[in-house]
Chain A
């Protein structure tokens, strides 16, 4: 009996040890062994050029938003929880700021998401931004299924005894180095919430994914809890 089990055990042991070693990231967290392509961008249209998109179309009504008045209701909250029922996301929100390089900081763990606190409060006029990891070193993270969202899906954000409902308007993938930061984080007349996670192929050289998925949503409803 022992004779038959021990080679099996040895094989399994070697498998697990070698898997751990192969899959382990040296020194810094976001590293992995290969740069091979994934199919994660399926269903997400890559926007080629913002300019031609806006100028070539006969009308761009989606860019037209009525202005708001100074006294317009601001319903911004300090968010502490996000729920996205259609992909079973229910996560805690951490208020985060900048990385030392001036980028957007993200949570250190894989289960929380990060709100860009120097920017807009969810519910206020402007672009509020929440980012979450798509995966960790060896498995999916909180925003792994973000790619499966559809325009029209709802996002709930809780905080300050309020529940805000946002409706997804569109989704775009952008190259990591060439994302329209101002469109995602910058000024707008609408009360928007944008979610970010990684997508595309993993770039070993840059220790990051080659693209970012942005989910754009707009405030639809607010409720006192």
Chain B
């Protein structure tokens, strides 16, 4: 909990270099990718994956939910909104995604130096604990610590454009702050609610003068299978039971009539 994570220890995976895949469920042929617009002075953008629009008109600070894409290499092109076909993309690159893995593809830095940063996201929640990591996507801002206001840093020395390792913390409400390594508060995050079984990425975005934090969910506690929510009592089989029972009932009735008639004749 109190363990410090230096920016050097941060897991920042460069495009195309990803950890071996661990197949989790039956959707494992696919990877999950979400897109984050973290370039403070870039216009709204359209994101194309293999020439198909997957996001349109995403503005600074917008994040998509995870989209499922087939594993493998994909061409990612980001255009200023509505300019595909008229202008060159602001970013054109390829990403390689592995089945069963989740990634954040973040457009970072100022427009002048805009680049796509791909990060691998955790898909594993820890029961009863919250997991959180911090990304520094504020171009021109100094290295930062993140921790309770006035308290020991949970994450320290995160530099642009690094993303720290995940840290397990007790669930609950935290009065956190993002501060420079010499203690000057940059962002007040009082009342940050971290739920048990959730995995979060807190991405600091914006400019040095106007910094903000986006808290995204990377994963959550999930069951391994869907609930069993029916016993079949209204399926057609019930009708069959009715029919058989009715048939037997009619037979018994007939038998009963014959018996009583015989008896009365006797």
User: 1/0 per position for A28-62, CB-CB distance to B under 8 A?
Assistant: 01111111111000000000001100111111110
Instruction: Tell me the residues in window 138-159 of chain A with beta carbons closer than 8 Å to chain B beta carbons.
Output: 138-141, 143-144
Complex Cα distance A144/B238, Å?
Answer: 15
Partner of B27, one of A32, A34, A67, A182: A182
For A21, give the chain B residue with the smallest CB separation: B245
The yes or no answer to A209 lying at the interface (CB within 8 A) is yes
Q: Is B259 an interface residue (CB 8 A)?
A: yes
Q: A69-B215, A202-B235 are in contact. Are A186 and B220 (CB under 8 A)?
A: yes
Nearest to A121 among chain B residues (CB) is: B195
Please state if B259 and A7 are interface contacts (CB–CB under 8 Å). yes
> A10: nearest residue on chain B (CB-CB)?
B256
A23 close to chain B: CB less than 8 A: yes
Do A34 and B230 form a contact, CB below 8 Å, given A50-B68, A55-B54?
no
The answer, yes or no, to whether A18 is at the interface (CB within 8 Å) is yes
- CB neighbours (8 Å) of B176 from chain A are 70
Do A37 and B236 form a contact, CB below 8 Å, given A11-B250, A65-B64? Answer: yes
CB distance from B49 to the nearest CB of A (A): 7
Whether B216 and A189, one on each chain, are in contact in the complex, defined by CB atoms closer than 8 angstroms, is: yes
Which of these binds chain A: B88-96, B135-143, B148-156, B184-192?
B184-192
Query: In the complex, A102 Cα to B221 Cα: how many Å?
Result: 11
Interface size on B, residues (CB 8 A): 86
Within 8 A of A (CB), among B109-136: 123, 127
CB of B209 within 8 A of chain A? no
B248 touching A15, Cβ below 8 Å: yes
**Of B62, B68, B192, B251, the contact of A64 (CB 8 Å cutoff):** B62
Chain A residues with Cβ below 8 Å from B192 are 70-71
Once bound together, how far apart are the Cα atoms of A10 and B54, in whole Å?
68
**Most-contacted residue by chain A among B67, B193, B233 (CB, 10 A):** B233
B52:A55 contact, CB within 8 angstroms: yes
B249 touches A119 (CB 8 A): no
Scoring A residues 62 to 80 as 1 if CB is less than 8 Å from chain B, else 0, what string do you get?
0111111111101010000
Q: Give Cα A99–Cα B248 distance, bound, in whole angstroms.
A: 40
Instruction: Check B235 against A133 for contact (C-beta < 8 Å).
Output: no
* Given contacts A10-B256, A51-B30, A196 and B229 within 8 Å (CB-CB): yes
- Among residues 248 to 265 in chain B, which have CB atoms less than 8 Å away from a CB atom of chain A? 248-257, 259-260, 263-264
Asked whether, in the complex, the Cβ of A105 is within 8 Å of the Cβ of B227, the reply is yes
Pair B220/A185 contact, Cβ less than 8 Å: yes
Which of A33, A35, A131, A189 is close to B229, meaning CB atoms less than 8 Å apart? A131
Question: In angstroms, how far is the closest chain A Cβ from the Cβ of B76?
Answer: 13
Please provide the chain B residues from 43 to 74 with a CB less than 8 Å away from any CB of chain A in the complex.
Answer: 49-50, 52-58, 61-70
Q: How far, in angstroms, from A106 to B230 measured CA to CA in the complex?
A: 10
> Which one of B26, B36, B68, B230 lies within 8 Å of A51 (CB-CB)?
B68
A65 B65 Cβ-Cβ under 8 A? yes
The answer to whether B240 and A36 touch across the interface, beta carbons within 8 angstroms, is yes
Per the 8 Å Cβ criterion, residues 172-225 of A in contact with B are 174, 176-182, 184-190, 196-198, 201-202, 204, 207-209, 212
Let me know if A118 and B54 touch, CB within 8 A. Answer: no
Asked if A116 is at the interface (CB within 8 A of a chain B CB), the reply is yes
Q: A187 touches which one: B49, B196, B202, B217 (CB < 8 A)?
A: B217
Closest 9 CB pairs of A and B: A7-B256, A11-B253, A15-B249, A34-B237, A198-B230, A19-B245, A187-B217, A32-B232, A14-B252
- Point out residues on A near B: beta carbons under 8 Å: 3-4, 6-8, 10-16, 18-19, 22-23, 25, 29-38, 50-51, 54-61, 63-72, 74, 76, 98-99, 101-106, 114, 116, 118-121, 124-127, 131-141, 143-144, 174, 176-182, 184-190, 196-198, 201-202, 204, 207-209, 212
